[in-house]
Structure 1
């Protein structure tokens, strides 16, 4: 079994891939979110991608891939504690930083610290936190990343620099086929709603009517329909439960776009 992740090595996705792999599994890195997803069923058997962060909210790249780019199913979720540090060369001085390289999500999670201590630093975005560390080239550049990226030539500020110490990222495992097991407890779906008062409420009331507890809702623009949106919803349930089947049938009859993302 081969698991794809957003590289390079030592990214947070790499840590999750290592966490879920069995001794017989191998892992493979890819440079972008869409590359990780498109590899499933071709170069890999599974993918690991971040989908939500407790400080910054949804990871829009992953949501858009699930909605529009690939036919993949969520088969597992993993919660990873994130502890961002400011990292630079050992020969540098944290008081003289001119540039900070970061992933956009990491920047959002650390913006208060950066605004207070490095308001004039140039922010340079890159594809992952581990890539940010790889990109440090001089004594005036730092990167935001986990301490596991340190090597003998690098150092980190002692303190964690994120806006809140309780920083959790939710990752999902994606596969070509769903896994339906009696022990699965969470379901993810996508749907649209009529663009009129009560349009979304009508769908949510279906979940309520069937005693299904919604744990998350997130909206994204409906591509090619300006002003319209699709909704990502997670709720507790099992695909084999009768109330879930009835709710699915009613939601499908009440929307023009419905997509089942998996039960895990």
Structure 2
């Protein structure tokens, strides 16, 4: 078959795809009407996970799964637009890693609200100004994100999904590397690049700011200033990428949480997050962990933060495998409460199994 004949075949398939996509869109509109009738949320992470699992199973190639998933994410984004446009809050401005993660997760057809701090994202979701928010929770190099952990202590939002994204840091500047006198970025980013920075810069001052995109804005407006951020931020704010991939660990991944006003239904491959405090006595945390062990609950993360209410009282943020509705989890949490001064279930959500 000649090149011209092959292209004609592609053109015909494209026309068929357009017809099928619009047929799918008409069904989506009807689904939206049903959701409005029973006040169901537009975004359903459990349904999303099932759709992707079916696609992966049905895919016989040669199209790679990653490519297929990217296409379907944009299809889902268009579906949100047809049902009811979603508004997603993220740590801005444009060009931040949070912005990139939100775009990869929710696509081009939803509305995005750039917010200046993480607490603002929690507030906008809690008030209903944003349907969902995306917040960083931990990094494989730098550990937990303190501002996110602290925001859960006085918020009523629920975790409904998680996102994993590979993070590559770059030095962005409009001057030569040896001319840099100050470097802007987030505190967590400095931690992820600590070894490289100490080996490269002897006197440059590191200045923490709210986001990597804000860092890029600052560097673009000052002489002899640099930012640590993404290539997207460099392009948006007119900076040059002076050094690429300066993170200390190559497998540098950030986990983001999607927060909303409802958690997700069980999928069979879920995680649950809780926040609790224990009495200030020896073995209090060990008692909680012992209950988890007895009920076969596998912990995936635990972080502690000062309660800021009483001296030497701590909150614990814990992730574990399972959904709050699973029988062993329900029984285990009942027993855990006996050892806690306070316990909140922050939400159950599908476990992320791939990097965006």
TM-score by length of 1: 0.94
1:140 lines up with 2:224 in the alignment:
yes
Distance 2:239 2:267 in 1: 48
Please list, as runs of the form range in 1=range in 2, the aligned pairs for 1:64-103 lying within 5 A after superposition.
Answer: 64-68=150-154, 70-89=155-174, 92-103=175-186
| 1:239 equivalent among 306, 324, 349 | 324
Which structure is higher in strand share? Answer: 1
| 1:120 equivalent among 194, 203, 222 | 203
The structure having more radius of gyration, on CA atoms, is 2
Is the 1:4–1:47 contact (alpha carbons within 8 Å) kept by the matching residues of 2? yes
Distance 1:116 1:208 in 2: 44
| 1:248 equivalent among 328, 333, 337 | 333
1:56 lines up with 2:56 in the alignment:
no
Gaps in structure 1 of 5+ consecutive residues? none
Partner of 2:9: none
Structure 1 residue matching 2:188: 3-state secondary structure = helix
1:115, distance to aligned residue in structure 2 (A): 1.1
Runs of 4 or more above 6 Å deviation: none
Is the 2:176–2:242 contact (alpha carbons within 8 Å) kept by the matching residues of 1? no
Distance 2:198 2:122 in 1: 34
* Count of aligned residue pairs for this structure pair: 261
Which structure is higher in helix share? Answer: 2
1:74, distance to aligned residue in structure 2 (A): 0.7
Is the 1:9–1:130 contact (alpha carbons within 8 Å) kept by the matching residues of 2? yes
- The alignment's C-alpha RMSD in Å is 1.5
Q: 1:153 to 1:27 in 2, by over 3 A?
A: closer
Structure 1 residue matching 2:151: 3-state secondary structure = helix
Is the 1:180–1:239 contact (alpha carbons within 8 Å) kept by the matching residues of 2? no
Structure 1 residue matching 2:338: 3-state secondary structure = helix
Is the 1:93–1:139 contact (alpha carbons within 8 Å) kept by the matching residues of 2? no
Q: 1:138 to 1:191 in 2, by over 3 A?
A: closer
1:129 lines up with 2:194 in the alignment:
no
Is the 1:56–1:105 contact (alpha carbons within 8 Å) kept by the matching residues of 2? yes
Partner of 1:7: 92
Distance 1:50 1:59 in 2: 7
Structure 1 residue matching 2:190: 3-state secondary structure = helix
1:207 lines up with 2:292 in the alignment:
yes
Structure 1 residue matching 2:89: 3-state secondary structure = strand
Moved more, 76-85 or 183-192: 183-192
Partner of 2:259: 174
1:107 lines up with 2:190 in the alignment:
yes
1:79-106 deviations in whole A, cap 9, x for unaligned? Answer: 11110000101xx211111111111111
1:214, distance to aligned residue in structure 2 (A): 0.8
Is the 1:147–1:156 contact (alpha carbons within 8 Å) kept by the matching residues of 2? yes
Distance 2:270 2:147 in 1: 25
Is the 1:182–1:240 contact (alpha carbons within 8 Å) kept by the matching residues of 2? no
Structure 1 residue matching 2:141: 3-state secondary structure = coil
Looking at both structures, which has the greater relative contact order when contacts are Cα pairs under 8 Å and sequence separation is at least 6? 1
TM-score by length of 2: 0.71
Q: 1:139 to 1:93 in 2, by over 3 A?
A: farther
Structure 1 residue matching 2:202: 3-state secondary structure = coil
